[in-house]
């Protein structure tokens, strides 16, 4: 006699699997809601409590925790046969289980006393037991794998050991993520950044190489940027993923029609526009040399006019909410240009590995800058709008960051220097248009007046910075002397 045990929260496909099992001579064991579903479909099942001789108890908390179940899953065929026979244990050859939806229910903000009832005990215990004994037991936790199992059963062939091992891998990955979700939730009751934080990334795909050809790399993830695959063009590279993430993070600062161009993890062009075409062309003109071979992010659909501009030069990746059929046809001439759909934003913690561990960071969504005019001259409305734009760019530029802008576009970007004045000097040197009447934003306070002096000499008339230096008065005095409006925000935006 062949036995299969079916006990699932997600009933997708379970009736068809049970029908296949019964048709091919299996005795189907089941309990609770699964047994009811199968009986309603006219399928003959044996209740677990009837099979074990032990009733379900404690409101269903104890159903499958019994030696006849776990012995049937763990018993090694050819090794444990005598002890199984002696104790009336039949081998369970197939197990189909999926778990109580703790992750989904924990997002509903229900009382902990109610939520703990969605912590599955019997399910994880059974699938772990079956996965350990994969040489003899096929354990299926994903309805997408039912078809493979049904095909094998209907053909009269058992699953290969390699198939059963692959199914077992899925089990241990699932129990690891399930326990991680429970652990993270319980620890989060104490703090947003708890003593223990566990993460798991799935959907691993090998990349050609890492940052450089001598390094190996993979990308993991099923959603967001990590889960994206190209509509056209070559496969994404390690550096492409990093740059696309940087471009999209900055682009999400804007509700207005905007274009962002990123090169080596730093923005080299950012602009607003009345149309996507205007925004893209202005962003490209900020630093056309750096824009060559860059990553382009747009927050509006791409039509034929933008597609023609994208196809007129070398672009590594373009990402946008959608593309017209005509745009896709135009971009085909650039067969290596990777084209991506902008994914929905995911609210996740930032995790970066370091030697021996990781750094985890949360950026509050409701953080508010406290703008304070500290100069004698008040900024004009145009200067205020320009400073807002410049600081949005600063937030996503490697520190030390100094950004020149007007109310519509970045004009020059200085990034990633070991001192702030060098960033300002580099920005001025790289400027592709006049900086007269521009505004400046700095991601951190000015320790000396030198950065301000460089900006004023280049033509800037207003400067936005966090403030907080012991030399703030010296810098404010310089702004008054130079007739530069200065505003403090109280918020620093270092980005390492």
User: pLDDT band at residue 60, thresholds of 50, 70 and 90?
Assistant: low
Does 462 map to a domain?
yes
Query: Strand pairing of 218-219 and 462-465?
Result: unpaired
Does 317 map to a domain?
yes
* Predicted model pTM: 0.87
Specify which of 4-8, 59-63, 122-126, 425-429 reaches the highest per-range mean pLDDT.
425-429
- Whether 278 has a pLDDT exceeding 70, the answer reads yes
Residues 67 and 161 in one domain: yes
Residues 306 and 378 in one domain: no
The CATH number assigned to the domain holding 473 equals 3.40.140.20
Q: How far, in Å, CA of 43 to CA of 39, rounded?
A: 5
DSSP three-state, residue 199:
coil
Residues 87 and 182 in one domain: yes
| Mean pLDDT of all residues belonging to the chain | 92
Residues 346 and 479 in one domain: no
Q: What are 215-256's pLDDT values in tens digits?
A: 999 999 989 999 988 999 999 999 999 999 999 999 999 999
- Residues spanned by the domain of 272: 235-361
Residues 308 and 439 in one domain: no
Residues 74 and 143 in one domain: yes
Q: How many domains does the chain have?
A: 3
Does 218 map to a domain?
no
Catalytic residue among 2, 132, 308, 332: 132
* 264 is annotated as an active-site residue: yes
Mean pLDDT, range 41-50, rounded to an integer: 86
- Whether 420 has a pLDDT exceeding 90, the answer reads yes
Catalytic residue among 2, 264, 388, 407: 264
> What interhelical angle do 146-154 and 14-23 show, nearest 10?
10
Residues 75 and 48 in one domain: yes
Residues 387 and 343 in one domain: no
Mean pLDDT, range 255-272, rounded to an integer: 97
Are 394 and 403 in contact by the 8 Å Cβ rule? The answer is yes
Residue recorded with tokens 């007269």 = 436
* 132 is annotated as an active-site residue: yes
Q: What are 283-337's pLDDT values in tens digits?
A: 999 999 999 999 999 999 999 999 999 999 999 999 999 999 999 999 999 999 9
Q: What is the CA radius of gyration of the chain?
A: 30
pLDDT at residue 250, rounded to an integer = 97
Does 74 map to a domain?
yes
Does 292 map to a domain?
yes
The CATH number assigned to the domain holding 97 equals 3.40.50.1380
Residues 14 and 163 in one domain: yes
Q: Which of 342, 361, 380 is the last residue of a domain?
A: 361
Mean pLDDT, range 466-485, rounded to an integer: 97
User: pLDDT band at residue 57, thresholds of 50, 70 and 90?
Assistant: low
Residues 109 and 29 in one domain: yes
User: pLDDT band at residue 89, thresholds of 50, 70 and 90?
Assistant: confident
Residues 410 and 476 in one domain: yes
Does 224 map to a domain?
no
Q: Exposure of 489 by Cβ count < 10 A (0-12 exposed, 13-18 middle, 19+ buried)?
A: buried
Does 116 map to a domain?
yes
Q: Which of 124, 155, 188 is the last residue of a domain?
A: 188
DSSP three-state, residue 229:
coil
Q: What are 347-372's pLDDT values in tens digits?
A: 778 889 889 999 999 888 888 999 99
Does 298 map to a domain?
yes
Output 85 or 426, whichever has higher pLDDT: 426
Are 137 and 86 in contact by the 8 Å Cβ rule? The answer is no
Residues 351 and 376 in one domain: no
Q: Which of 337, 361, 385 is the last residue of a domain?
A: 361
Percent of the chain with pLDDT over 70: 99
């Amino acid at each position: 006699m062949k036995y299969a045990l079916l006990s699932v929260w997600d009933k997708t496909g379970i009736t068809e699997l049970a029908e296949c099992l019964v048709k091919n001579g299996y005795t189907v064991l089941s309990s609770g809601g699964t047994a009811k579903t199968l009986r309603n479909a006219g399928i003959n099942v044996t209740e677990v409590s009837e099979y074990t001789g032990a009733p379900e108890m404690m409101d269903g908390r104890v159903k499958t925790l019994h030696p006849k179940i776990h012995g049937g899953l763990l018993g090694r065929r050819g090794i444990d046969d005598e002890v199984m026979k002696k104790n009336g244990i039949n081998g369970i050859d197939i197990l189909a289980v999926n778990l109580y939806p703790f992750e989904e229910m924990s997002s509903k903000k229900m009382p902990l006393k109610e939520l703990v009832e969605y912590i599955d005990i019997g399910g994880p215990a059974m699938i772990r037991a079956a996965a350990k004994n994969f040489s003899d037991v096929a354990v299926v936790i994903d309805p997408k794998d039912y078809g493979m199992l049904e095909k094998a059963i209907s053909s009269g062939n058992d699953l290969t050991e390699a198939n059963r091992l692959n199914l077992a891998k899925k089990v241990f990955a699932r129990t690891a993520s399930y326990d991680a979700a429970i652990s993270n939730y319980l620890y989060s009751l104490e703090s947003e950044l708890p003593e223990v934080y566990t993460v798991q990334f799935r959907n691993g795909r090998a990349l050609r190489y890492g940052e450089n050809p001598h390094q190996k790399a993979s990308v993991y993830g099923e959603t967001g940027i990590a889960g994206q695959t190209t509509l056209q063009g070559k496969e994404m590279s390690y550096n492409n993923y990093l740059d696309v993430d940087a471009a999209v993070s900055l682009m999400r600062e804007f509700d207005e029609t905007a274009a962002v161009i990123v090169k080596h993890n730093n923005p080299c062009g950012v602009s607003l526009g009345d149309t996507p075409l205007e925004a893209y062309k202005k962003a490209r003109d900020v630093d056309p040399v750096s824009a060559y071979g860059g990553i382009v992010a747009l927050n509006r659909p791409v039509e034929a006019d933008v597609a023609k501009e994208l196809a007129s030069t070398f672009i590594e990746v373009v990402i946008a909410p959608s593309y017209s059929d005509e745009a896709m046809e135009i971009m085909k001439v650039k067969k290596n240009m990777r084209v991506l759909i902008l994914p929905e934003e995911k609210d996740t913690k930032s995790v970066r590995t370091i030697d021996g561990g990781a750094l985890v960071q949360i950026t509050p969504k409701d953080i508010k800058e406290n703008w304070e005019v500290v100069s004698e001259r008040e900024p004009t409305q145009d200067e205020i709008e320009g400073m807002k734009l410049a600081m949005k760019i600063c937030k996503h530029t490697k520190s030390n960051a100094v950004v020149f802008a007007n109310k519509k576009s970045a004009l020059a970007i200085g990034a990633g220097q070991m001192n702030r004045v060098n960033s300002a000097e580099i920005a001025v040197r790289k400027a592709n248009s006049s900086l007269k009447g521009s505004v400046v934003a700095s991601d951190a306070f000015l320790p000396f007046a030198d950065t301000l002096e460089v900006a004023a000499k280049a033509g800037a008339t207003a400067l936005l910075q966090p403030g907080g230096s012991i030399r703030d008065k010296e810098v404010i005095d310089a702004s008054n002397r130079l007739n530069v409006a200065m505003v403090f925000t109280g918020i620093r935006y270092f980005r390492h």
